[in-house]
């Protein structure tokens, strides 16, 4: 309710400025103990997955809280899990502004932020300050100026840094906004990266006496052969799960709309069917051996249900949360709990 009042004002602003203002306001509201005036938390049906207990199946997707500055405020909105990042080893400013665009007729966004973040040390300091004790995913990436041939070094570095502080670690090889990053989804490149990260994960599990699941986040722009190769790689290297999907570079669903030709990743409603199809194919390829976390264009309870029916065990939202606000969380959780056996 409150969000629907604030939305016209926020949507009148530059998208990135609105984003910063909305998160700062959310934090202030939470700090003053007033989160319940915004939250629509809905009933909870817990999900056990990857050795973790998720209080409900709906999470916040990566990229909204890149530095882990708003964990408590976002948790108060009722998410069952929160994924922060993408974080890189060193701070970096990202691409020149403007770099985020709204396509309101399509309930979509295009962004080319380029992993703007304050670096892994700052993220960890923010995590240490948070009161949240729920499921926290930390999404890791590479700095823009690390050559792609050395990408594994950045991922290994971030994995070791965040390991003790994460419930799971998401390996982002699917942002379209870091040059050549998506090449890491190729069979050879992914095999090499997954092998190295698995070795590092096992070393860290031993050192910390705790196994932290490692999941791969993939793009929606993959053909069947690529999806098959990725699935084989996930199983071979015993990764713990997959997040499907990141944003798309396709503009087929928004052709002709204002901002449609901006470069970057498209998210929101026009991505929904594509990402659900990727989930369906992955579910067949993985035969239930690995869990799938579904993301992409979840703007309603029906969209969330479609992802679960296609084979996802959990769902994440980002653009839907921008367009619909906290009310979308309650709507989805009520629908998902009604669908429970």
List the catalytic residues: 175
Q: How many residues does the chain have?
A: 341
Tell me how far, at minimum, the Cβ of 97 lies from ligand FMN, in Å: 13
Can you spell out the DSSP letters for 98-126? P-EEEEGGGTEEEE-----B--HHHHHHH
**Measured from the CB atom, is 139 or 231 closer to ligand FMN?**
139
CA 110 to chain centre: 15
**Measured from the CB atom, is 29 or 58 closer to ligand FMN?**
58
Is the torsion defined by CA of 50, 55, 57, 63 positive or negative?
A: negative
**Measured from the CB atom, is 10 or 203 closer to ligand FMN?**
10
**Closest listed residue to residue 61, CA positions, set 276, 319, 300, 271:** 319
**Measured from the CB atom, is 90 or 203 closer to ligand FMN?**
90
The residue at minimum Cβ distance from ligand FMN is 63
Q: Any idea which residue has 């993939």 for tokens? A: 218
CA atoms within 13 Å, Cβ hemisphere of 274: 23
> At CA 232, angle to CA 229 and CA 238, rounded to 5?
135
Tell me how far, at minimum, the Cβ of 140 lies from ligand FMN, in Å: 9
> Residue 67 in contact with residue 91, Cβ under 8 Å?
no
Tell me how far, at minimum, the Cβ of 46 lies from ligand FMN, in Å: 22
User: Rounded to an integer, what distance in angstroms lies between the CA atom of residue 121 and that of residue 27?
Assistant: 21
Tell me how far, at minimum, the Cβ of 88 lies from ligand FMN, in Å: 10
> Residue 57 in contact with residue 45, Cβ under 8 Å?
yes
Could you list the residues that contact ligand FMN (CB under 6 A)? 61-63, 66, 86, 100, 109, 111, 113, 139, 172, 175, 217, 246-247, 267-268, 271, 295-298, 317-320
Tell me how far, at minimum, the Cβ of 319 lies from ligand FMN, in Å: 3
**Measured from the CB atom, is 19 or 203 closer to ligand FMN?**
19
**Measured from the CB atom, is 117 or 207 closer to ligand FMN?**
117
Tell me how far, at minimum, the Cβ of 141 lies from ligand FMN, in Å: 7
Q: What is the CA radius of gyration of the chain?
A: 18
Q: Is 181 helix (H, G, I), strand (E, B) or coil?
A: helix
71, two tokens: 């964990």
Pairing of the two strands 100-103 and 108-111: antiparallel
Spell out the residues 6+ positions from residue 60 whose beta carbon is closer than 8 angstroms to its own.
74, 79, 81, 82, 83, 316, 317, 318, 321
């Amino acid at each position: 309710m409150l969000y629907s009042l604030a939305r016209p004002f926020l949507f009148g602003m530059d998208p990135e400025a609105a984003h910063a203002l909305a998160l700062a306001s959310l934090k202030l509201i939470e700090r003053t103990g007033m989160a319940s005036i915004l939250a629509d938390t809905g009933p909870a049906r817990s999900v056990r997955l990857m050795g973790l207990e998720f209080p409900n199946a709906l999470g916040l997707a990566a990229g909204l809280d890149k530095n882990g500055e708003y964990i408590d405020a976002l948790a108060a909105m009722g998410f069952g899990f929160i994924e922060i990042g993408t974080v890189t080893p060193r701070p970096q400013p990202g691409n020149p502004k403007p770099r985020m665009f709204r396509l309101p007729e399509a309930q979509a966004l295009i962004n080319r932020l380029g992993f703007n973040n304050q670096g892994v040390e700052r993220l960890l300091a923010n995590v240490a300050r948070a009161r949240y004790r729920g499921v926290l995913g930390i999404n890791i990436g590479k700095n823009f100026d690390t050559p792609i041939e050395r990408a594994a070094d950045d991922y290994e570095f971030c994995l070791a840094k965040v390991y003790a502080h994460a419930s799971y670690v998401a390996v982002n090889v699917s942002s379209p906004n870091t040059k050549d990053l998506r090449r890491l989804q190729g069979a050879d490149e992914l095999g090499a990266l997954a092998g190295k990260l698995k070795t590092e994960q096992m070393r860290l599990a031993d050192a910390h006496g705790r196994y932290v699941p490692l999941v791969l986040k993939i793009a929606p722009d993959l053909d069947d052969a690529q999806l098959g190769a990725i699935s084989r790689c996930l199983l071979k290297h015993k990764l713990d799960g997959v997040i499907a999907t990141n944003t798309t570079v396709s503009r087929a669903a928004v052709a002709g709309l204002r901002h449609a030709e901006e470069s970057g990743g498209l998210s929101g409603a026009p991505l929904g069917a594509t990402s659900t199809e990727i989930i369906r194919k992955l579910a067949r390829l993985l035969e239930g051996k690995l869990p799938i976390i579904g993301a992409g264009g979840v703007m309603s309870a029906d969209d969330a249900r479609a992802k679960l029916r296609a084979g996802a065990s959990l769902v994440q939202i980002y653009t839907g949360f921008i367009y619909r606000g906290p009310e979308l969380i309650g709507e989805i959780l009520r629908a998902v709990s009604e669908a429970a056996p």
